[in-house]
Structure 1
Amino acid sequence: MAQGPVESSAPSFHVDRIDAGRIDQLVGILDVQAELPGIRRMRRWAHEALAVRAGERALDIGAGTGSEVMVFAERVGEGGAAVGLDPNPMMLAIALRRAEAAGSAARLVHGSVYHLPFPDASFDAVRCERVYQHLDDPAAATAEIARVLRPGGRVLLIDSDWYTAITHPGDPEVVAALGAAMLAETPNPASGRRLRGLLAAGGFAIDDQGSEAVIWDPVTARPLFEQMNEQAVRQGTITREEYDRLIAELDAGIERGDFHFSVTMFAVLAHKL
């Protein structure tokens, strides 16, 4: 989950700044996204690549609703430890309730990726999904991950590259303006393509890479466009007329089955030298 100074009036993934009145909306967005086939495929590949084993200690940074740290808990078993870290106490409470309801042994901890609350060489494996795009200093975060990993420990970073986003239908100029407004609000929008370089510079050896063009279905994408468009109108990036026309074009496309929205996610597996 996100950390950094950018704050928006629309729901965002800067969950350390999301208030109680909006946390349920964010959780709803995360739950719907988790069901997208592309997200499911990427997460399945990531767990297979990271290959957390029984008895190991595994950390999930940006644990969100807790779904992936619960996968870790199943893999490490009673002899290991699965820890999920998130900067928002309200999100942690939700993840904890879900873990308890599932009978999971996952442990949830409050903290920042910039200052991980763990001793050096604490973990065998670290997973971090869709956090780096919101970081102002991803190199510092990578150094913290290296610090808490034991020598030879594995890390799996996953993130979107928002410059790969494709939207259809819609006036290309309005879509481009909308995309530019969103990119301006994201500290690290090209994070997906930067993961390998950050890990290499941070003292890791690269072992594998993966990617997935995540295609959003209309039910998932439509609310996102409304939020982005409303924000762009308030900022003066597009006019109200352009907003209304784009929404009408998207709705017409959805009605006739002619709709597409996707963004590519990248994953990099590495180990600490």
Structure 2
Amino acid sequence: MADPRPTSAFHVTNIGVTPTDRLIGALDAQADSEGVRRLRQWAHAAVAAQPGEQAVDVGAGTGSETQVLAAAVGAAGEAVGVEPHDGLREAAELRAAAAGSAARFVAGDAVALPLDDAGTDVVWCERVFQHLTEPAKAVSEIVRVLRPGGRVVLLDTDWATALLHPGDPEVVAALMRRALTASANPHAGRQLVGQLATAGLEITDVGSQALIQSNTKVNWQLIRMLGESALREELISEQQRDALYADLTSAADEGALHMSATMFGVAARLPSP
């Protein structure tokens, strides 16, 4: 691949690999998660966008949080969503127009933001770093576009925190190993504080939220993706796969299923000279 930066279907080099409607559905499902809603509420309070400010949502997706930022900065300010995926950006524009939001959207990449130096008061970046092979470049871009005193909030998952119960521990461990390799930067969540601090930003708050799946439904799309991958790589046998699927089905029927991963948030500011 000519451009080694993003490896996720959410990024520009892989547009067309995953249908846009599937990406939108995945983002909408994540947005409906109570854990995501709680962490977003904390993050908006931590970054505290104000009327008249310039706010940027890096990796805006369907634009839901760009709209929140637009409402916070008001008519005197501006909220811009940077999104590399044409289909997601179009969906964000349509949703903003339908909602009467002033949020606007531009094409761009987290490691090459189409923004002026020192012109942004607030940067929001959610679940982007897990898809980046060079997250330090994205942090450098955030520092570049922030005004002195500007604020940033990063939210991202750490896939090493993924839990699945019940099931044979060895089989579950094999699936969790596949979950780690499915992301370009699977430990993104735990690295956020250090990356911002190393870049000279002052950490102002940290937060976390376990994203817990329903205890009565198996996320078959994800489970089968991981299970079949583990089978192809001969990490598990067909019998082990089938036994795990049966265990998860029975647990869901009894309301005893547990599946979760933890998302972390870091709020920081760029010190004034």
TM-score, scaled to structure 1: 0.92
Point out the more displaced range, 107-116 or 23-32.
Answer: 23-32
Q: 1:31 to 1:121 in 2, by over 3 A?
A: same
Partner in structure 2 of residue 55 of structure 1:
52
1:221 and 2:219 correspond: yes
Q: Is the 8 A contact 1:33 1:220 kept in 2?
A: no
Residue 66 (structure 1) aligned to one of 63, 67, 70: 63
Secondary structure of the residue aligned to 1:143 is helix
Structure-2 change in CA distance of 1:86 and 1:187 (3 Å): same
Counterpart of 1:238 (choices 225, 236, 258) is 236
Number of corresponding residues: 267
88-97 or 221-230, which deviates more: 221-230
Partner SS state of residue 51, structure 2: coil
The residue number in structure 2 matching 1:117 is: 114
- Measured against aligned partners, the alpha-carbon deviations of 1:192-241 in whole angstroms (never above 9, x if no partner) come to 11101000111101111111111112557332212222233333333333
Letter in 1 for 2:92: A
Q: Is the 8 A contact 2:149 2:269 kept in 1?
A: yes
Pair 1:6-2:15 in alignment? no
- On the 8 A contact 1:6/1:185 being kept in 2, the answer is no
**What are the ranges of 5 or more consecutive residues in structure 1 without an aligned counterpart?**
none
1:155 partner SS = strand
Are positions 1:108 and 2:67 aligned together? no
- The two structures have a TM-score, normalised by structure 2, of 0.92
Whole-Å Cα distance in 2 between the matches of residues 267 and 20 of structure 1? 29
2:160 maps to which of 153, 163, 167: 163
Instruction: Give the aligned partner of residue 199 of structure 1.
Output: 196
Q: Which residue of 1 aligns with 2:171?
A: 174
Residue type of the alignment partner of 1:255: D
Q: Work out the CA distance in 2 between the residues paired with 1:269 and 1:5.
A: 24
2-side partners of 1:18 and 1:247: how far apart?
32
Note the aligned Cα RMSD (angstroms).
Answer: 1.8
**Alignment-derived partner of residue 42 in structure 1:** 39
Q: 1:126 to 1:228 in 2, by over 3 A?
A: same
1:150 maps to amino acid: R
Aligned to 1:209: 206
Between the aligned residues of both structures, percent identity stands at: 49
- Find the residue that maps to 1:39 and give its secondary structure: helix
